[in-house]
Amino acid sequence: MRSPSSSPSRSLAAVLAVGLLTALVGCAPQDGVAAEYDVGNQTYESGDFRVESIAAEERGEPVMFDGITEHGDAVSEDEFAGRVYVVNFWYAACGPCIAEAPMLEDVWQDYQAEDVGFLGINIYDQPATARAFAADNGITYPSVIDADSGQVKLAFAAATPIQATPTTLVMDRQGRVAARIIGQLQSASILSTLVSDALAEDG
């Protein structure tokens, strides 16, 4: 079991610095990839990839939602009450979603024993397609099917901008957005650090 880091900001900075370096390796200047690294503001950006860690006092209201998973099960914020959980917005034909899927599953497997929840929000597909994607990519956590109404995405978008797919959110124990990853996750360690930092907070 992990012990909470005594300095979440430094641990996040270190992990994201490595992630950004990895993302930029092999990119020539003419590629136009812009990078931003700001420890104080906890903002990290490289091209279409961006990570934002939100200070507890700056977080909005808890997100309330309800939906139906690809297996026909009802799910809402009540299932995650008092728990840290991760929300990933995706769809099956999204290339970056396919690329990051194994990393999301790795973090999910790592943190199940610490009662961290994971939930996908499929914004485009019907249940059969979502189930096939999960089987093909080894995904074991559920996804809400949100293609018809878009209501679950709207519930989260009321709390934080969701402008790209994929987008991944880390929710704190109060159900508020604690961190946001825009674009394809660059490494499992980035998400793992954000989850660990949320777990280390006072409940």
**Inside any domain, residue 88:** yes
Q: How many CB atoms lie within 10 A of CB 3?
A: 7
Is residue 66 pLDDT above 70, yes or no?
Answer: yes
Is residue 147 pLDDT above 70, yes or no?
Answer: yes
Is residue 15 pLDDT above 80, yes or no?
Answer: no
Are 120 and 88 a contacting pair, CB within 8 Å?
Answer: yes
Is residue 37 pLDDT above 70, yes or no?
Answer: no
Is residue 162 pLDDT above 60, yes or no?
Answer: yes
**Inside any domain, residue 35:** yes
**Inside any domain, residue 183:** yes
Are 126 and 145 a contacting pair, CB within 8 Å?
Answer: yes
- CATH number for the domain spanning 114: value is 3.40.30.10
What's the average model confidence in pLDDT over 86-95? 96
Of 19 and 93, the structure prediction assigns the larger pLDDT to 93
Please provide residue 129's backbone torsions phi and psi, each rounded to the nearest 5 degrees: -65, -40
**What total of structural domains would you count in the chain?**
1
What are 176-192's pLDDT values in tens digits? 999 999 999 999 999 99
| Mean pLDDT over the full length of the chain | 82
How far apart, in whole angstroms, are the C-alpha atoms of residue 158 and residue 184?
A: 22
Is residue 2 pLDDT above 60, yes or no?
Answer: no
Are 191 and 73 a contacting pair, CB within 8 Å?
Answer: no
What's the average model confidence in pLDDT over 86-91? 97
**Inside any domain, residue 3:** no
**Inside any domain, residue 159:** yes
What's the average model confidence in pLDDT over 67-82? 98
Q: What is the pTM of this model?
A: 0.79
Is residue 110 pLDDT above 60, yes or no?
Answer: yes
**Inside any domain, residue 1:** no
Residues of the domain holding 113 = 8-200
